[in-house]
Amino acid sequence: MRIDILTILPQLLSGPFSDSILQRAQNKGLVEIHLHDIREYSRDKHHKVDDYAFGGGAGMVMQIDPIYRCVEVLKSEREYDEVIYMTPDGHRLDQKECNELSLKKNLMILAGHYKGVDERVRELLITREISIGDYVLSGGELAGAVLSDAVIRLIPGVLNDETSALSDSFQDNLLSPPVYTRPANYKGHKVPEILTSGNTRAIEEWRHEKSLERTKARRPDLLED
């Protein structure tokens, strides 16, 4: 998979992609992540990429031309399955969508700033709009990193144990069950005996039951589906 991220702050994204699972995925050749500075596509001598909103009002708006030029260059080099805009008013990201996107080959992600992008960017270039929650960040970079992380970890070979992602919360519309590790007894607080019984079938039944209990208590809306 290849992910291209368009941003005015590429340095903000150097950290999330240079360590841990995302770095290992790149080292293994399972994913390529490329950051593109939108300012480099500005025709303005000061590399300006924003301007005042028509009609007045507070806040600046990202101009269409630098974004359009950047997208045009990238599309001339390869085909993209999706051009994604990270925005608070987009479709709220869920595990099902992450699973779907993990099967794609080339993704482009646009990180917005200020009051957002010129609406014509959304009309002419964007194929999918995604939100990571009902709140507003200073920019779309961190949201883009969240999306990338959620998608990349699902690619076969990225996780050391490929079955690990299958037992994550939301994969089957349930929250994950409680998990424990050594010591089995910590200051009188013991691990449930079933987990040390060695009875695989009973353990799986216990985990499913606990997943249901936790989902009913914390996210009953998931069970409505």
Burial label for 132, CB within 10 Å (0-12, 13-18, 19+), is buried
Helix and strand element counts for the chain (H, E):
6, 9
Which residue from 15, 89, 4, 84 is spatially nearest to 38, judged by alpha carbons?
A: 4
Domain range for 143 is: 2-152
pLDDT of 167 higher than 60: no
- How far from 156 is each of 29, 73, 173, 216, CA to CA, in Å? 12, 30, 21, 31
| 135 close to 4: Cβ distance less than 8 angstroms | no
pLDDT of 163 higher than 60: no
* Residue % of the chain over a pLDDT of 70: 95
Residue 194 and residue 97 share a domain = no
pLDDT of 166 higher than 70: no
Residues in the chain: 225
| 133 close to 92: Cβ distance less than 8 angstroms | yes
Q: pLDDT tens-digit profile of 70-118?
A: 999 999 999 999 999 999 999 999 999 999 999 999 999 999 999 999 9
Confidence of residue 164 (pLDDT cuts 50, 70, 90): low
pLDDT of residue 170: 67
pLDDT of residue 173: 85
- How far from 22 is each of 17, 26, 64, 103, 154, CA to CA, in Å? 6, 6, 31, 17, 11
Q: Which of 152, 178, 205 is the last residue of a domain?
A: 152
Q: Is residue 157 part of a domain?
A: no
Q: Is residue 23 part of a domain?
A: yes
> Which CATH number belongs to the domain containing residue 44 in this structure?
3.40.1280.10
Give the mean model confidence (pLDDT) for residues 206-223: 95
Return the HEC string of 21-66: HHHHHHHCCCCEEEEEEHHHHCCCCCCCCEEECCCCCCCEEECHHH
Number of structural domains the chain divides into: 2
Residue 190 and residue 126 share a domain = no
Residue 63: phi, psi to the nearest 5? Answer: -75, 155
Residue 93 and residue 11 share a domain = yes
pTM over 0.85: yes
Residue 103 and residue 31 share a domain = yes
Indicate the angle between helix axes 20-27 and 141-152, nearest 10 degrees: 60
Residue 96 and residue 59 share a domain = yes
**Strand locations in the chain, DSSP E?**
2-7, 32-37, 50-52, 60-62, 82-92, 106-111, 128-131, 185-186, 189-190
Q: Which of 118, 152, 186 is the last residue of a domain?
A: 152
Residue 8 and residue 85 share a domain = yes
Tokens of 62: 């990202």
Residue 71 and residue 33 share a domain = yes
Confidence of residue 180 (pLDDT cuts 50, 70, 90): very high
Residue 182 and residue 112 share a domain = no
Q: Is residue 158 part of a domain?
A: no
| Element holding 170 (H helix, E strand) | none
Please, what is the Cα angle at 67 between 91 and 149, to 5 degrees? 45
